[in-house]
Amino acid sequence: MLLAILLPFLSFMIRGKIITGIICMILQFTLIGWLPAAIWAALSLQNARAEKRNEKLIRAVRENRK
């Protein structure tokens, strides 16, 4: 999470979203754009974590039905 706030573009690139990382880097290099870029990266990270949790729960429910 700290990486998403301090270096938002790097957070995207590490997760394999290269084009999104480049767009975020351009936004981040403007002084006004730093805050939106950091918020965007943090929210994106939280959404990715939530999706992984949901997928894990769905798999667990499907396995219990069998």
pTM: 0.73
Express each pLDDT in 18-54 by its tens digit: 998 898 888 888 878 878 888 988 999 999 999 999 9
Cα 39 to Cα 16, 57, 63, 64, distances in angstroms: 18, 27, 36, 38
Q: What is the mean pLDDT of residues 58-66?
A: 86
User: What whole-number distance in Å separates Cα of residue 11 and Cα of residue 1?
Assistant: 9
User: What whole-number distance in Å separates Cα of residue 45 and Cα of residue 22?
Assistant: 16
